[in-house]
Amino acid sequence: MKKNICKYLLKISLLVASLLFTTQISAEELRWAADAESGAPYVFYDAKNPTQIIGFEYDLVQILAKKLNRNPRFVQNAWDGLVPGLDREEYDIAINGIEITEDRKKVVLFSNPYYATNLQLVVRQDELRFKNLSDLAGFKVGTLTGALSEKTLRAETGIEILLYESEANAHQDLSLGRSDAVLFDAPIAKYYSEVDSRFKILPTVIGSMTYGIAISKKNQELQKKLNSALQQMIDSGELKEIYERWAIWNSPTAQLFNDTSPTRTPPAEFENYKNNLNSNRGLAEKFKIYKKTFPILATAALKTVQVSFCAMIVAIIGGLVLVGARLYGGSFLRTFVILFVELIRGTPLLLQLFFIFYALPSLGVEFSPFWAAVLGLGINYSVQESEIYRSGLLSVHQNQIEAAKLLGLNSWQSFWSVQAPQAFRISLPPMTTDFIALIKDSSLVSVITMVELTKSYSTLASTYYDYIGFAVIAAILYMLIGLPLVLVSKKLEKSNK
């Protein structure tokens, strides 16, 4: 009988496994990852139609996928997570101005380079002091985190490096005089500095680099296919045409492709981009944009609500288990809980999210981005919840517990009828504060491919160069999300008085 059940279970699990497997195969998708916040001209949202992704890499992937006979599907991930995310198989390739370096080659495969470029220094329009990197010793130079430009700056001596997440912020600080220069990949300089009359690009080219498509080490077959498709695109001139439309065809790439033919295609996309760049929009126009983009923010807010709500439930259950083990468990369990609490409390949430999402899979434990986010936030907050419950339980007057004992209540009855309800009342205000903090901390889950409210805000803000307007909308949405929590807790507090 037992054997039969085992067989039956085995059959079912095989069936499920094969179903999962076949759906993966039959989809024939080419899942490509990038950070849409990384900006123009790589992969970014179209200001005219903010749900649409554009960029020269977007164009490249469309043709590439066609040549591979697969449907391209975009997967959003924070730029820092693009390479580690490949191992999780959430996506097949990552393409987002990722420089081919020896370090990265150790962890992922790269296609042949699809673009070659240099770094360039951007300074204020009236700047006369600097010609080259070596002139900047003793000055402040900004750049983007994690990019090759950061490494280049580190190799120089005497430069104070300022790191930015977005091009817009780097430029802002440059114009305010908080930095003296910024170092960018040439395409970024073209799209963000050349179009802005406050800045000029220094003609000196610095270093050289090539972009490659990153592929999981397990996927050598895909690497081969990508390389042959890329070669076709180079040979047919399709790739060059993309670069010409985006006005980024340059001599290093011409050398790379061994293509010295004259340019033919007008830079239509670059012109489009420039036309959309009007940052001095009137109020009416701004509100039109807010109206148009509101569904994007609302969807992202919904994601924030979902993640936060599920994480709160995990936090409550986890908190109860932890506090139970700590106060009523044996000495072994108690020591374990104390260590666990210190470990979680003593390390950043961001690190924990990275660990769950990128490191656990290598130990054979894999969660979807949503559940990794829920678990990461939930576990982190369960520790704080357990401490809140613990202080609540401990602050119940000893007389109350002794009175219960004298009335003949056993310890279980005393706990549930006397101690727990009073502890709950004491714990309610700090719990509310804690959960509102959780909602705000949920913005960190953008590092594991989740597009939530803050990520949406910063993407939209960088698309439209409107950091204030979108911030106000996002702030209001956050407060609206937290509001029911506050109201419920107020009501509970009242009814418990």
Partner 1 sequence: MNIKNLSSQLSQDFQLKNISFNLHSGEILTLLGRSGSGKSSLLRCLAGLQNYQADICTIPRPLGMVFQSANLFAHLTLEENIKLALIKTQKKTNSEAQKICEQVLEQVQLSHRGKSKPHQLSGGEQQRGAIARTLALVPKVILYDEPTSALDPELVEEVFDLMLSLKKQGLTQIIVSHETRVVKKVSDFVGVMNQGELKWFGALADLKPQLHLMEPDEKKYLQIFT
**Closer of 332 and 412 to partner 1 (Cβ):** 412
**Closer of 277 and 420 to partner 1 (Cβ):** 420
Query: Does 491 sit near partner 1 (CB under 8 A)?
Result: no
The nearest distance, CB 411 to partner 1, in angstroms, is 12
- CA–centroid distance for 134 within its chain: 34
Distance (Å) of CA 95 to CA 50, 82, 230: 21, 8, 13
The nearest distance, CB 408 to partner 1, in angstroms, is 4
Q: Which class for 241: exposed (0-12), middle (13-18), buried (19 or more C-beta within 10 A)?
A: middle
- CA–centroid distance for 94 within its chain: 14
Size of the site for partner 1 (CB under 8 A): 19
The nearest distance, CB 86 to partner 1, in angstroms, is 54
The two three-digit tokens of residue 303, written as one number: 């994601």
Tell me the C-alpha distance between 197 and 200, whole Å: 7
Query: Which position among 13, 51, 134, 417 is part of the footprint of partner 1 (CB under 8 A)?
Result: 417
Query: Which position among 220, 347, 400, 411 is part of the footprint of partner 1 (CB under 8 A)?
Result: 400
Query: Does 73 sit near partner 1 (CB under 8 A)?
Result: no
Query: Which position among 421, 472, 479, 490 is part of the footprint of partner 1 (CB under 8 A)?
Result: 421
Tell me the C-alpha distance between 145 and 79, whole Å: 9
Query: Does 143 sit near partner 1 (CB under 8 A)?
Result: no
Query: Residue 423, CB half-sphere, CA atoms under 13 Å: how many?
Result: 23
* Interacting span for partner 1 (CB under 8 A) from 85-93, 278-286, 364-372, 402-410: 402-410
Query: Does 69 sit near partner 1 (CB under 8 A)?
Result: no
Query: Does 494 sit near partner 1 (CB under 8 A)?
Result: no
Query: Does 48 sit near partner 1 (CB under 8 A)?
Result: no
The nearest distance, CB 410 to partner 1, in angstroms, is 8
Query: Which position among 68, 206, 409, 492 is part of the footprint of partner 1 (CB under 8 A)?
Result: 409
Query: Does 431 sit near partner 1 (CB under 8 A)?
Result: no
Query: Which position among 274, 281, 405, 440 is part of the footprint of partner 1 (CB under 8 A)?
Result: 405
**Closer of 280 and 410 to partner 1 (Cβ):** 410
**Closer of 295 and 429 to partner 1 (Cβ):** 429
Query: Does 404 sit near partner 1 (CB under 8 A)?
Result: yes
CB atoms inside a 10 Å sphere around CB 121: 28
Query: Does 493 sit near partner 1 (CB under 8 A)?
Result: no
Query: Does 468 sit near partner 1 (CB under 8 A)?
Result: no
- The contact mask relative to partner 1 for 370-399 (x = CB under 8 A, - = no) is ---------------------------x-x
* Interacting span for partner 1 (CB under 8 A) from 57-65, 111-119, 255-263, 419-427: 419-427
Strand bridging mode 160-164 / 140-144: parallel
**Closer of 121 and 423 to partner 1 (Cβ):** 423
Query: Which position among 28, 271, 285, 402 is part of the footprint of partner 1 (CB under 8 A)?
Result: 402
The nearest distance, CB 394 to partner 1, in angstroms, is 15
Query: Does 427 sit near partner 1 (CB under 8 A)?
Result: no
* Interacting span for partner 1 (CB under 8 A) from 17-25, 38-46, 148-156, 410-418: 410-418
The nearest distance, CB 389 to partner 1, in angstroms, is 16
Residues that bind partner 1 (CB under 8 A): 397, 399-400, 402-409, 413, 417-418, 421-422, 425, 496-497
